[in-house]
Every structure is written in C-alpha cells, then in structure tokens.
Amino acid sequence: MTPTPSMMEAARKHRERLERIAGAAFHKPAPAPKPEPKPRAIAAVPIVALPPRRCLDAIPETAVYVPWVGEDRPVTFSDIKLMVAKHFRMTFAELESDRRNKAVVRPRQIAMWLAKKTTAMSLPAIGRRLGDRDHTTVLHGIRKIERLIATDENLAELCSAFIRNLEGTS
C-alpha cells in the first residue's frame, strides 16, 4: 500500500512534534541542588517517654518528661501490640501476618480482645490494624478468647495482667 499525501503529512507532523519534545527535554536546565539541612542540636538531657506503668524508679532524675506520660493517658493500639508481641516473643509483622498456626493466632486473638476491652476502636478498625482482617474475624477472635478465659485459669490471669498493665494499675 502506498502512502497517501494526507498520511505523509501526518507522519511529517508527528516527526516534528517528537523532535520538539525531544529537543525541549534535551535542553532543559538541570535542577538546582537542594541545600543540605542544618544539623540539629542534640539535647544534653535524656528524654524519656514511658507509658504509665508505675515504674518511675528506673527513670533518671535529670530526664525530661513529655506531657502525654501520665495516669490518664488513653491506651493505644500500639501499646497493646507492643505488650502482646513482647510477651509472646513475636514481631509486629508476625502479629499482622497471614499465618494461621496456633502460636501466632492465639496472641493475635488476645490483642483483638484487649483492643476491644481497653479502647473504643471498632471491629473493622481493629482488623485493619492486625493485617487487614475482616470484622467477623475480629469478632470470632474476641469470642474465642472470652470462651477460653472462662475455662483456662492461666489465660484468664494473663489477660487480666495485660489489662492491669495497660491501665497502669500494678
């Protein structure tokens, strides 16, 4: 098939447009280098931000206390995840993972139960914070832990210790 004059014209315009674009991109000035940020001064006094756990004996007297540390500080989901992960020697990634073996599921369900008991989070919000789980999965986990607490004294004591620790009453 032989190209028609209109096809030849369209091809010429296309080549010109490509040359203009390439030329403009080729001749752009280099961006100015960003200035380096000034180094920040490091405080000579240690800053301590501990949750209220009635363990103030270990804090040095020279420490600066941040204002949110106090008895009336609300429990956060990060507190729950940290406490459960430390107790069961897990990482946050394991708590949020898709694994379904008992060693991972039980601590995850305990975290769900604690979140429901100590925070005002909804079931979908708890599920999102634990690996994007459905609210029905969270509901199942909460009910499972409640059933186990009724029959297993060790788990009941562990969960009550978790709540006492989160609320700051040792």
Query: What is the reported pLDDT for 40?
Result: 56
- The answer, as to whether pTM is greater than 0.75, is no
Q: pLDDT-derived band of residue 11, with 50, 70 and 90 as boundaries?
A: confident
pLDDT of 81-98, one tens digit each? 999 999 999 999 999 999
Q: pLDDT-derived band of residue 147, with 50, 70 and 90 as boundaries?
A: very high
* C-alpha distance from residue 100 to each of 97, 103, 105 (Å): 9, 8, 6
d(CA 55, CA 155): 24
Asked whether residue 72 carries a pLDDT value surpassing 70, the answer given is: no
Mean per-residue pLDDT for 25-46?
Answer: 59
Q: pLDDT-derived band of residue 30, with 50, 70 and 90 as boundaries?
A: low
> Where along the chain do its domains lie?
43-73, 74-167
CATH topology of domain 74-167: Chromosomal Replication Initiator Protein Dnaa; Chain: A; (1.10.1750)
Q: How many residues does the chain have?
A: 170
Mean per-residue pLDDT for 14-25?
Answer: 72
